[in-house]
Each structure stands twice: as C-alpha cells, then as structure tokens.
Amino acid sequence: MMNAKTALDLILKGMEPALQEAEFTPVKPQPEGNAALFAREGETLRIKVEDDRAALQHCPRDPDMAPEGDFKQLAVSLLELDGAAEGDCRYIAGDFADVVQSKFRKRKKGAAAAPGAKLPKSISKTAIKNGEAYYDALSFGNSFTAMFPDLRAAYKANYEQYGEFLAEEFFLRGGGNDLVMRVVRENNQTQMKRLFGLLNEVYENGVNDVQSLICVTILGALEGDEVLLARCADHMSADLAPVAIRVNRYLASGAGKRAKQKLENPPLYKPKKEKKQGLLSQMMGGGGQGGMPGM
C-alpha cells in the first residue's frame, strides 16, 4: 500500500518542470502530510492527496489570505492508495502539469504568436502508443487536421491568434464541429470509420481535458438527437459510447440546457462560500471526480 505522502511526492516530482515554467514556488512552511502549496504573486496552487483521489486546486489570493472555501478544483483524479503504483502517480502528474501549463504559464494574457510562427511540436504517436505519453489538446488538433487538411489553416490561425492552441474555440467557432456534424449527417461509412477511429483512440489515450472536449464540446453538439447519436454509437468504442450518450442526454434535459446557458453567459464573479459540484460531475451524477468516470 502506498501512503499519501509518497504519492504526493511522486506527483510533485512529475509536476516540477511545469510549476517552474509557470513561476510557482513552494510555500514554506508547507501543510503537514498530504498537501503542498505553491505560490506566485496573488495566487496559490494546492496539490492534495486524500481519501481515494488527488486534486489540483487554485485560489486567486496569496497563501496567507487563502481560506479553504476559496480554493477551486482545477483537476481531480482517482487514486486508490491500496493498489496505487508509481505509474499511476506519473499519469496524474502529467495530467496536472498540462493544466498548469495551459492555465498559468507566463505569457501575456491574450498575446498572439508572431504571424507565420511554427506550431509547437505535438506529442508523437509512437510515444502515445508505447504508453510514454497521452494526447493533449495540441496533439489531438494536429491529428484531427492531418485527417481533415482543409482545417489545417484554421488550426494554425488559432495558435497564431492566441499564442497557444485553444481547442474549444477551434471546434466551436473554427470549423471543427461543423466538419464533424457534416460527416455524421452524410453518414459515409468510410468517413465515419476514420473520424471515430481517431476519436476513440484519443479518448482512450487522452488527458482528462481532451476526454471532456470529445464528449462535451464535440459529441455534445449532437444535442441529444437520437438518430444521429445511434449512428455515432455504432462506431464508438466500448469506453466512449456510454459516456457520450449519457452526456448527450444530460445536455438535452432541462437541467443540462440551463447549465449550458450558464456556461455561455456566466454571472459576475463572487467569492465562493462553499464547494459546489462542477458541471461535468452533475452530468455524470458523480461526486466531484475529475475526468470522465468509468462506466
């Protein structure tokens, strides 16, 4: 059995480069045992291992002014210490590091890349196939636009505009979802097999954010259409199908439509008084666990 401190140390070791790049430094003294704090001016990150999970949390305040209720969950992963191995901790570290890099790396917010700038190198398929890495948003976008080269220019323009690849923006407003819906509606079997071959592979070998992107942003655009959903289910893997169907049915419900409207029209920020379930947890009926739950 692995104890919480050993698991935390392994996760922190894997996150160290991302934390340094984002200029988060350790807070001393640290909380005892199963948590660690990192800070930069005006904000605090907390990595915590407890019960059967590991959590990455953020508070937009300095450590000495960061009450418990103001920490927001950025990522949560299951971690059953009874059977945990070093590889499980490395996976969580990689997932949490991706979140830190995407949200906090030191770059002027909204700064565009230089016109004609080369896209960063994406994770190689060989590394993914060998279990050495997992699909992130950039690698997924690279594979998607390699399959559908008409969108390659939009993929590159997205990076140049934002200085990083914003996957949701690309799929919702850059033509990605339009292409997916066209393939589904046309129901050309060759195209469907190619599309879902990629979605299945990325879902099964992707970080939590990419799994959510596929189920909520992309396949959620089916909006509960039973005909289109059944058509897609014929090509989905055993892991992807039940989650995508469940998310679609939630999004088509009254509660799902209200939740989606809130996301599209967020209220003015108010400090949180108590923890609340995130949208994905509500969709899946879970207790706040990160990523897409097993079915």
Question: What is d(CA 218, CA 122) in angstroms, rounded to the nearest whole number?
Answer: 21
User: DSSP assignment, residue 214?
Assistant: I
Task: Let me know whether 96 and 133 are in one domain.
Answer: no
Query: In terms of residue numbers, what domain contains 39?
Result: 4-104
Tens digits of per-residue pLDDT, 59-111?
988 888 877 777 888 888 888 888 888 888 888 888 888 888 878 866 544 45
Question: What is d(CA 146, CA 141) in angstroms, rounded to the nearest whole number?
Answer: 8
Task: Let me know whether 41 and 160 are in one domain.
Answer: no
Q: Is residue 292 part of a domain?
A: no
Tens digits of per-residue pLDDT, 28-67?
888 777 899 999 988 999 999 987 889 999 998 888 887 7
* Residue whose entry in the numeric block shows the structure tokens 């505009």: 161
Task: Let me know whether 75 and 161 are in one domain.
Answer: no
Q: Is the pLDDT of residue 281 over 70?
A: no
Lowest mean pLDDT among 147-161, 169-183, 197-211, 256-270: 256-270
Residue 145 near residue 171 (C-beta atoms within 8 A) = no
In a 13 Å sphere around the CA of 264, the CA atoms on its Cβ side amount to: 8
Task: Let me know whether 209 and 272 are in one domain.
Answer: yes
Task: Let me know whether 136 and 249 are in one domain.
Answer: yes
Predicted model pTM: 0.53
| CB contact set of 55 (below 8 Å; sequence gap of 6+) | 46, 47, 48, 49, 73, 75, 76, 77, 290
> How many domains does one find in the chain?
2
Q: Is residue 137 part of a domain?
A: yes
Tens digits of per-residue pLDDT, 200-253?
999 999 988 899 999 999 999 998 899 999 999 999 999 999 999 999 888 888
Residue (of 151, 228, 143) closest to 192 by Cα position? 228
Name the strand (E) or helix (H) holding 54: strand 53-59
Task: Let me know whether 91 and 140 are in one domain.
Answer: no
Residue 59 near residue 27 (C-beta atoms within 8 A) = no
